[in-house]
Chain A
Amino acid sequence: MTEILAGRLSQPAGRAPGIRGRYGWLRNTGVMIALAVLALILTAALAPQLMTTADPDAVAPAEAFQSPSAAHFFGTDESGRDVYTRVVFGAGNSLLIGTAATTVGLGLALVLGLLGGLGSRLGDFVSTRIVEVMFALPGLLLALVFIAIAGPGVVTSTVAVGLSTAPGYARIIRSQLRSVRNASYVEAATVLSHSRARIVWQHILPGALSPIFVLGTLGVGQAIVWASSLGFLGLGVAPPAAEWGAMLSSGRTYIDVAWWLTVFPGLAIVATAASFTVLGRALNARTRQEARG
């Protein structure tokens, strides 16, 4: 999915947010909202106690299935636990899995992409074939098989998500490296008979890998959605822990009587994913603007 969003990296610059100045892009309304949401989620992840005084695992059977109210903003679940508190405490898990999975995916893609973009013909052939095969396997199949091998859990689902996002990144990195490799400034460095290592290190890599930061930002949101899908299928974080996907999964059982159990954790996922996408796109537009000078 990230590939789709990032496909625009190579396209000519479109209409960039029309505000000038170095930090002008921050003044865009959409970006401001996204940053605010992310700040809120980051706070929830780092210091959940600031946003709620309750215990996410405190069971109170007498208060089960209460609909949203002033006492329980998001209602309570089947054991009487406060859903708002659990959503707040779930932020850390989701954010951690999202960023870690994106790092894993990008790392793997970097190896494959570098091999394809800078390696010999054989290296390119091998890496292209590997990426092709990974693409042909549905992402969830890769993830499912990997989880079956390593057993469900936080680390496993993180690696599984990273694994299934890697081929998309690898393809982008490869084509990026290839286009930079043929750029005129690289040619100029070759004419100046700089060593190959120096050309790669000083000229090709900085030019080709600058979009990685943007890619990663776009990817984190998608990775969170992916990871929560695994949690939803019961393959992610073990149940008593607060994780948005797992909360949705257990909420599904009570969908007829307690809609709030599914609606609020899902809202958190959507808000996070959408914010990362908005931010990634703004960064992307800014990078392109800078590239044009």
Chain B
Amino acid sequence: MTVSTDAPAVASVSTPATRLRSLGWVARRVGGGAFVLWAVATVIFFALRLIPGDPVDAILGGPGSQASAEAVAQIRADYGLDQPLIVQYFLAMGKLAVADFGTSYALKVAVAPYVLTQLWSTLVLTLASLVVAWLGALGLTLATSGRGRVSRAVGSGLELLAAAVPHFWLASLLIILLSNTLHWLPPISVPGPLGLVLPVLTLALPLTGFLGQVMRESLANAYEQPFVLSARARGESEWGVRLRHVLRHAALPGISLSGWAFGSLLSGAVVVETIFARPGLGRTLLSAVTIRDIPVVTAVALLSALTFIIVTVATDVVDRIVDPRVTEVASR
């Protein structure tokens, strides 16, 4: 008779049951993610075919290209556009399943490496904005969350304005103020960290407002909790209470929001990259939709969906670490 090695496992960390449960969690997440990616690919495939005009025009460089009928027929055959739509769909899905994104209609380069370089630029922009927004929101909330009426009014007023300001207007204001008047920063995005300042500020400020609004609310709730009273009774300083006890609770909804924020930053990137003439996913997307570059649009859509899925899972995991009370049941 052998004694099971699992027998003394009193800690809940790795009993077979919990391992199985977290394995199930991972499997569900992967399965759900794969489904979303397939659905996005399908929706984009059919939606792009609904755009009026012939995709061959996009390949030949616009309707004005005056190509001969033979050239058009040749292109149609080369790109498989002469097949019935349903055949095209399955061919396209088959290629996407093995991460073959094809060749850009307009640029005639392989889509995957091209989009990846654009993604890098956008990731730098969005991640920097997310960090700046987080720091700004934390600072603003912590500094103005006390009992003071004035500081609270100032804080929430700032947040309200920040949340109502459209990216493109904020960008214009920053250009007028910091570039044209004070000549501190370049009005377009030059390579290097200096060119990153204005785009990051543009994306981060409104986000600071949103994060601040939500964090302020949960901070106010956390102040009412018994553990704050007991910390105060132990003689903890005001800032000690804020940093050590309340912050954790204020951060939670902010973390859950970061997933959403990341997605909205991608939308914001379209505007910001256009204004500051900065290369990136957003600008690529805008021009690709306009000239109907189907492979590029598909790749960008799938890439942003994938990013969204990863960020959602990541925020879920961080949620659990920051607040162990968030359990399997609670997180749906």
**A3 and B47 contact, CB distance less than 8 A:** no
A147 nearest in chain B by CB position: B289
Residue on A nearest B210 in the bound complex, by CB? A4
Contacts A4-B210, A133-B36, A141-B301 known; A255 to B167 CB distance under 8 Å?
Answer: no
B221 adjacent to A139 (CB under 8 Å): no
Residues of A with C-beta under 8 A to B161: 270, 274
Collect the chain A residues with CB atoms within 8 Å of residue B305's CB.
136-137
Contact check, B257 vs A225: say whether CB atoms are below 8 A apart.
no
Contacts of B51 in A (CB 8 A): 145, 148-149
Q: How far is B152's CA from A149's CA once the two chains are assembled, in angstroms?
A: 47
A8, B257: Cα distance in complex, Å = 13
8 Å CB interface, B174-206 against A: 175-176, 180, 187
**B168 at interface by CB-CB < 8 Å:** yes
In the complex, whether B300 has a CB less than 8 A from a CB of chain A is yes
Please, how many angstroms separate the alpha-carbon atoms of A184 and B210 in the complex?
34
B111 within 8 A of partner (CB): no
- Which of A1, A148, A245, A262 is B289 in contact with, Cβ under 8 Å? A148
Per-residue interface assignment for chain A, residues 139 to 160, with 1 indicating a CB less than 8 Å from any chain B CB and 0 otherwise: 1110011101101000000000
Q: Is the CB of B264 within 8 A of A229?
A: no
> What's the least CB distance linking A97 to chain B, in Å?
14
Is A7 interfacial (CB-CB < 8 Å)? yes
Nearest to A140 among chain B residues (CB) is: B267
Say if the beta carbon of B292 comes within 8 Å of chain A. Answer: yes
What 1/0 mask marks residues of chain B from 282 to 301 whose CB sits below 8 Å from any chain A CB?
10011001101000010011
CA distance A136 to B160 in the complex (A): 27
Q: How far is the CA of A223 from the CA of B37 in the complex (A)?
A: 27
CB distance from A264 to the nearest CB of B (A): 10
Binds B, one of A9-17, A48-56, A77-85: A9-17
Chain B proximity of A218: nearest CB distance (Å): 11
Contact B285 A144 (CB under 8 A): yes
Q: Known contacts A1-B210, A14-B220, A136-B305; decide if A229 and B43 are in contact (CB<8 Å).
A: no
Docked complex Cα distance between A144 and B283 (Å): 12
Question: How does the 8 Å CB contact mask read for B81-98 relative to A, with 1 for contact and 0 for none?
Answer: 000000000000000000
Q: Are A145 and B217 in contact (CB under 8 A)?
A: no
Is A278 interfacial (CB 8 A cutoff)?
Answer: yes
Interface hits, B237-296 → A, CB 8 Å: 253, 257, 260, 263-264, 266-267, 270-271, 274-275, 282, 285-286, 289-290, 292
Among B40, B164, B297, B304, the residue within 8 A (CB) of A270 is: B164
| A138 touching B266, Cβ below 8 Å | yes
B277 CB to closest chain A CB (Å) equals 12
What range describes how many residues of A lie at the interface? 35 or more
The answer to whether A139 touches B267 (Cβ under 8 A) is yes
* Least CB distance, A105 to chain B, in whole angstroms: 15
Contact of B308 among A136, A251, A259 (CB under 8 A): A136
Residues of B within 8 A of A249 (CB): 168
Query: Distance (Å) between the CB of A232 and the closest chain B CB?
Result: 5
Contact A274 to B286, CB < 8 A, known contacts A14-B221, A137-B305, A255-B180: no
Say yes or no: A133 contacts B40, CB within 8 Å.
yes
8 Å CB contact of B220 from A15, A129, A145: A15
Min distance, Cβ B62 to any Cβ of chain A, angstroms: 15
Given contacts A255-B180, A263-B176, contact A228 B166 (CB under 8 A): yes
Task: Name the CB-closest residue of A to B176.
Answer: A259
Given the interface pairs A148-B289, A233-B286, A262-B176, the reply to whether A137 lies near B169 with Cβ below 8 Å is no
Please list the residues of chain A having a beta carbon within 8 angstroms of any beta carbon in chain B.
Answer: 1, 3-5, 7-8, 11-12, 14-15, 129, 132-133, 135-141, 144-146, 148-149, 151, 221, 225, 228-229, 232-233, 245, 248-249, 251-252, 255-256, 259, 262-263, 266, 269-270, 273-274, 277-278
**Contacts A/B (CB < 8 Å), 8 sampled:** A4-B213, A145-B48, A232-B168, A249-B168, A259-B176, A259-B180, A270-B161, A273-B164
